[in-house]
Structure 1
Amino acid sequence: MSALLETRGLSISFGALKAVDNIDFSLQSGEIHALIGPNGAGKTSFVNLLSGRLMAESGEVLFDGRNLTRQPAYRRVRAGLGYTFQVTSIFAQLTVQDNVRLALERERSASAAEILSLLKSTGLEAHAFMPARDLAYGHQRLLELTMGLALRPKLLMLDEPTQGLADSEIEGFIALIREVSKTTTILLIEHNMQVVMALADRITVLERGRILAQGSPAEIRASEAVQAAYLGSKS
């Protein structure tokens, strides 16, 4: 596998807080890579630097052979770097299918058949004509995922995608991401360790804005440093 995404010395501070501190990171094409760590570890700040919602103070973001460090978020999306937010971002007053249509038509026209196919892939086809605000929260999360997939990204970053999902929905989400990963590289930022261990090919652990450890799920689970900083505090 070749590197699809790399960061070199990526850093940003908020006042005296070094939220992301000189991170060198590599994500391979075709993998599911999980990013974990305790609250305040810098996960969301790091993802915001990747997506262009924040601009780095220093360092580089390289994606698919291009330097995107100073590119705005919309150009990164056009380059194939998609993401969903930790807080759900949908158009509540529009129908489910119109949310997907709007996501698609930012780039090109979309047919009804294509929209319904996307909704079917995430199990939302029965809700196509429902206003998005009337969806259960877990289904709103799936709608945002559908909107992200509509742009056919090379890399899809999912920030806390299982937040709000019922336990009964987790197994379906895992199966969905496995299917999506056949054609799309995934960066998963997630607190649910059941999901992380079931899906991830590799895991990066952040602590205080730095990389604490990287490795396979088995290596991360066995790491004493990770146990002390993060996993040991989880049930």
Structure 2
Amino acid sequence: EQELEVLAYRKDLTQEFLRRFGSDKRVLNSYNLKKHLTLNPKMPTSISLKFIGQLFTFDVLAVMLVPSVPPEIRVAGEEQLCRKLAQLSLGEKLTLAKRANTERLLGMLLDDNNREVVAATLTNPFLKESIVCSTVRRSTIKAHLVELLALNSRWSCRYDIRYALLRTRHITLGLALNFLQGMMSKDLRDLSNDPYVSMQVRNYIKSNLSKLSTDKKKSF
């Protein structure tokens, strides 16, 4: 089997050869061979789609992290991990939170009930501002995500994230004060009349509008 594993890694094989190889009984009966073939970017997509559904969580993630993996395989891997997420142990979730590389999966991890998982996700190098904003805007947003973002120097300086956080039901006036200074006048007026913003924050904005407003977005 070791020789077959070396063969499975080779990138100079034709798709027709890999198609026949992927149908070999020795491959079908070997987890490692199926894993190695799925990692081979030359593998026919139809066969890789069959194999990826049989891989363990972090082997699926390893496939998704290959830059040349076909989009269909990446989507199938993401779907599989999203389905498994609720059943994973805390340790598995923490590892996934630090290494996941797709928008849907990262969004689900940011929305997790466990504070540790969310904190780990915020350190993920693949996490983008757009994913954070869309998660903050969900009705399911958790209080610990609001607090962690407010205290996170990487994310709390982003204007759009600050604005989204101000519209959550979990924001306290104490945290809001850090975000309000330097907001654009138009945005402050919108927030002061926004029913999604807490009454306490709205009243504070109305009372301090002239002191808080600025003509342009600031970087903090």
Common fold: TM-score over 0.5: no
Choose between structure 1 and 2: higher helix proportion. 2
TM superposition score normalised by structure 1: 0.27
Choose between structure 1 and 2: higher strand proportion. 1
TM superposition score normalised by structure 2: 0.28
